[in-house]
Structure 1
Amino acid sequence: MDHPDLSAAPHTDDRARRPADAPADPYAPLGPLLAAEAAAEALPGGGVEAADLEQAVWLRLLELGGPPPEPDRWVRRAVRAEARAHARRIRSERPYGDPDAAGPPAQLRGVEELVLAAEQHRTVQAAVRRLPGRCPQVVTALMSRSDPTYREISRELGISQGSIGPLRSRCLGCLRTILNSRVGSPVRRGNAR
């Protein structure tokens, strides 16, 4: 029995095997709906473009592995969800080089961060009070919000202006030791090292 030579048969693609009434692409009817929904959600000045929304929703759609059972409803929900997700990302982003990029603005900081900052301030203040000799007065003067000069500090504390620099170095060294150990103050006699 002779078998036909299949290698010589003309190449047929999937379209030739598909019934005539079946659409060529099951996703094709979703294109115009998706474009309209994305255009409606991408308002001018909103920070998201319609093309970006379309691309994100197409990706979601392809990850499903087939068209959803209620495509119009699914597309509307998916576009809105992508628009909300994009808006959340925009709110949390900071431009490179922005002075506020180191942390969120004060009004956006959480309660936990505020409590931790207050606790850190109390810890430093307690450590300053435990410093030996004139160090509490010197460090308090240096930490003043008025940012006094050495001349103003020397007048206020009654010490020579030339001794403030070395005294400041010793006091900050003691403060660093106290904060690192968190045990207590060094011995109040002799020079602090």
Structure 2
Amino acid sequence: MTHDLLTSLRPLLAAEASAEGRACGAEPGDLEQAVWLRLLERLESDAPPADPPDWLRRAVRSEARRSRRTARRESPYATGAGEPADDRRPGPEQRALTAARRRALHVAVRRLPGRCPRLMAALLSPEDLTYREIAGKLGISQGSLGPERSRCLACLRRLLTAEVAGHEGRG
């Protein structure tokens, strides 16, 4: 009896869940699963519904309403400082990769020769210093910053290229 009832209700439930799911923005499969669970719980505790197709339609609508209420009440996790989550912001994996790249860059900068570590640290500073401020901070002329920066960047490029090439797998 129970198996026949479930088999006969399957197409109706799929159609109802698909229609209600589209209307309320829920996944039809989630609605189907919730209604199957409700039906099985009812069959376990009581007798089968008097009018199974009618009961099924009402159960699907009830689950759709529950889904709409839940969606209205739920809000995305805050990302900090009371701001709601934004899908356009980088996720945790991307933030971890970005942080790892920054650490690798700063480690490479500290390995540069001569005045390059101080110059590159000043250029990478979050304070966004001007050339005049950097020259004053480092005690060198403003006119020599450009050529010095070019030499330091070339050295950094060679250092990072060798490091990346050394970490790549072969074959």
- Structure 2 length-normalised TM: 0.50
Whether 1:160 aligns to 2:160 is: no
The CA distance in 2 between the partners of 1:176 and 1:87, in whole Å, is 51
85, 94, 106: which one aligns with 1:125: 106
CA drift of 1:123 comes to: 0.7
Secondary structure class of the residue paired with 1:139: helix
Alpha-carbon spacing, 1:102–1:180, altered in 2? closer, same or farther (3 Å): farther
**What secondary structure sits across from 1:182 in the alignment?**
helix
Contact 1:128–1:136 under 8 Å retained in 2: yes
- The question of 1:104 aligning with 2:89 is answered yes
Corresponding residue for residue 23 of structure 2: 53
Larger radius of gyration: 1
Residues 68 and 135 of structure 1: CA distance in aligned 2, closer, same or farther (over 3 Å):
farther
User: 2:63 aligns to what?
Assistant: 77
User: In percent, how many aligned pairs have the same letter?
Assistant: 39
Distance in 1 (CA, whole Å) between partners of 2:58 and 2:132 is 75
Q: Distance in 2 between matches of 1:70 and 1:60?
A: 14
Relative to 1, partners in 2 of residues 1:147 and 1:81: Cα closer, same or farther, differing over 3 Å? Answer: same
Deviation at 1:170, TM superposition (A): 2.1
- The 1:86–1:151 alpha-carbon spacing in structure 2 relative to 1, beyond 3 Å, is same
Is contact 1:135–1:171 with CA below 8 Å preserved after alignment? yes
How far apart in 1 are the matches of 2:102 and 2:69?
Answer: 41
TM-score by structure 1 length?
A: 0.45
User: Corresponding residue for 2:129?
Assistant: 148
The match for 1:137 is 118
**Superposition deviation, residue 68 in structure 1:** 7.8
Change (3 A) 1:137 1:68: farther
| Contact preservation (8 Å) 1:53, 1:79 | no
The aligned counterpart of 2:153 is 172
Q: 1:71 to 1:119 in 2, by over 3 A?
A: same
SS in structure 2 of the partner of residue 70 of structure 1: helix
The CA distance in 2 between the partners of 1:123 and 1:80, in whole Å, is 49
Q: What's the secondary structure of 1:132's corresponding residue?
A: coil
Residue type at the aligned position of 1:104:
R
If each structure's helix is expressed as a fraction of its own residues, which one has the higher value? 2
RMSD (Å) for aligned C-alpha atoms: 4.3
Q: CA deviation at 1:121?
A: 2.0
